[in-house]
Amino acid sequence: MTDYLIRVIAKEAGLRGLACFTTELTQEAAQRHETKPTATVALAEGLTGVALLGALLKVRQRVAIKFEGNGPLQKILAESNAYGKVRGYVGNPDVELPLQHGVPNIAGALGNVGLLTVVKDLRLKELAESVVPLAAEPLEKELTYYLSQSEQIPSFVNMGVYANDDGEIEVAGGLLIQALPPYQDNIVARLQDRMEELPPLAELFHAGEKPESVLEKLFESIEYDILEKRDLLFQCGCSRERTEQALISLGVEELEHMLENEGGAEVDCHFCHEHYFFTSEDLEGLIAELE
């Protein structure tokens, strides 16, 4: 099952809808970071959330979201570009908490005090940054609050991650509904109420529903057009060449210190957990480039 996102618009109702599968990309992220069950679901929800926000971007733009709290998980950081490529990690991949009402306690893992920071690179002179306090709620509610407060757009986010008894993800996905100006009174709230009448999104996906069919159930008699279907995937922009440039930026003195004390260098990418090893000969070559 390839991950993908569909984007729809209901012009007469004044609504925009996004729905996606993120199963494979979240499985890859969990495997790369070797996350324990609670951290696995937290990372999956973070990646799903940023994939939805990324679908609202224009060409060459990027968005990053960071949930950071005083709990054992520490943080969830996820990024997306405008083309469906996402990456992310959690501060502590070893977090495993007891289930709360039968579901992973992500809010408890993040803690009761924290911030959600959303940073957008809109290809302007400066990055656009918004910060809202965390309310110790599920991540979908934290994102809904951000959209309503910082972007002033009536919206709601719903995410579903179904994990088996071993904490492995079987299916993951989400949806985002937004009102379009001129906003109709309570149109988003009505769809949110409708969503609450349906089974949880994780159960719908696990039972075989697809993003398209979930939107059909949600919109009911509201007519809409499908604007786009795009693939989603976990992809990090790191490479050995970029890592070399990062080492070069440290300067001759620091590289010589590494060479003398460690005999080489090992660099670990936070986002994809890829390891890059540089031997003493590699470092000598970088030093020679700088001299």
pTM: 0.93
Enter the tokens of residue 229. Answer: 């279907």
Q: For 19, left (φ over 0), alpha (ψ -120 to 50), or beta? A: beta
Judge if the upstream peptide bond of residue 104 is cis by omega within 30 degrees of 0: no
**Cβ-contact 186, 196 below 8 angstroms:** no
Residue 101, pLDDT above cutoff 80: no
Average pLDDT over residues 106-135: 94
Separation of alpha carbons 76 and 62, rounded Å = 17
Per CATH, the number for 240-290 is 3.90.1280.10
Domain boundaries along the sequence of the chain: 4-234, 240-290
Nearest Cα neighbor of 157 from 192, 108, 198 is: 192
Q: Which pLDDT does position 161 carry in this prediction?
A: 96
Check pLDDT > 90 for residue 63: yes
Q: What is the mean pLDDT of residues 54-78?
A: 97
**What's residue 249's pLDDT?**
92
Overall fold of domain 4-234: Hsp33 domain (3.55.30)
State the pLDDT at residue 130.
95
DSSP code per residue over 79-111: EEETTSEEEEEES-TT-----BTTB--HHHHH-
Given this model, what pLDDT does residue 196 score?
A: 92
Please give the pLDDT value at position 182: 82
pLDDT in tens, 155-202: 999 999 999 988 899 999 999 999 998 877 788 888 999 999 999 999
